[in-house]
Amino acid sequence: ETGVTQSPTHLIKTRGQQVTLRCSSQSGHNTVSWYQQALGQGPQFIFQYYREEENGRGNFPPRFSGLQFPNYSSELNVNALELDDSALYLCASSMGGNTEAFFGQGTRLTVV
Amino acid sequence: AQSVSQHNHHVILSEAASLELGCNYSYGGTVNLFWYVQYPGQHLQLLLKYFSGDPLVKGIKGFEAEFIKSKFSFNLRKPSVQWSDTAEYFCAANPSNTGNQFYFGTGTSLTVIP
């Protein structure tokens, strides 16, 4: 167990819908990152939040957005879902730059 | 652009065989390097990490990796694999000026035959 929990574990949505995924970071961690892992691929960095502010973003369109709350938990929101958004979404938390990140088990999103 | 390449996509070994998985990264600045393992149905777990210092780092479960700066490589090794090492292995680079932005390779699937 890493102390990073994600919910839900599985989700099925229809193309065009919106989805919110949640992550509770490990106690004491102020940085949360989100990753998309397509089948057979390595995780791809979506964005990162540090103390409630986005401070890094990968090559993902604006319909991927997020939030970090005062308790450092986080949400990933995806609007206008597309079939290619089907993937495992991973959340990772850490104590900041140049430290180890701990990953949750992920949310498996299927878009039909 | 930053990238991480893992050259071995699928590796099949017999128990007690030696393992070496290749990893090369593309980044000109200071970078932290990691190997993560993903057992079937489980979350990513850290095997080992390199930030600075001794380029030969030892991790959990008998794994080690060597950072060779001139080759931009961080290969993973284990002298004698076990059936329980069957898993997906990911190399990741974290440029030191990006907080915790990790760039992962595509992964290597290791199957160890008893």
Q: Do A42 and B106 touch (CB under 8 A)?
A: yes
| DSSP reduced 3-state for A14 | coil
Q: Which of A40, A43, A56 sits opposite B104 (nearest CB)?
A: A43
Distance CA B33, CA A40 (A): 21
How does pLDDT run across B20-53, given as a tens digit for each residue? Answer: 999 999 987 889 999 999 998 888 999 999 999 9
pLDDT at B18 over 70: yes
How does pLDDT run across B1-17, given as a tens digit for each residue? Answer: 678 999 889 999 999 99
Task: With beta carbons under 8 A apart, name residues in chain A contacting B102.
Answer: 33, 35, 43, 45, 92, 101
Spell out a b/e string for B83-94, using b for 16 or more CB atoms within 10 Å of the CB, else e.
eebbbbbbbbbb
Distance CA A109, CA B60 (A): 31
Q: Do B46 and A35 touch (CB under 8 A)?
A: no
Q: Show the tokens assigned to A62.
A: 């604006």
How does pLDDT run across A55-74, given as a tens digit for each residue? Answer: 899 999 999 999 999 988 99
* Range list of β-strands (E), A5-106: 5-7, 10-13, 19-24, 31-37, 44-50, 53-57, 64-68, 74-78, 87-94, 102-103
Q: Show the tokens assigned to A58.
A: 């990968």
Closest-CA residue of chain B to A43: B104
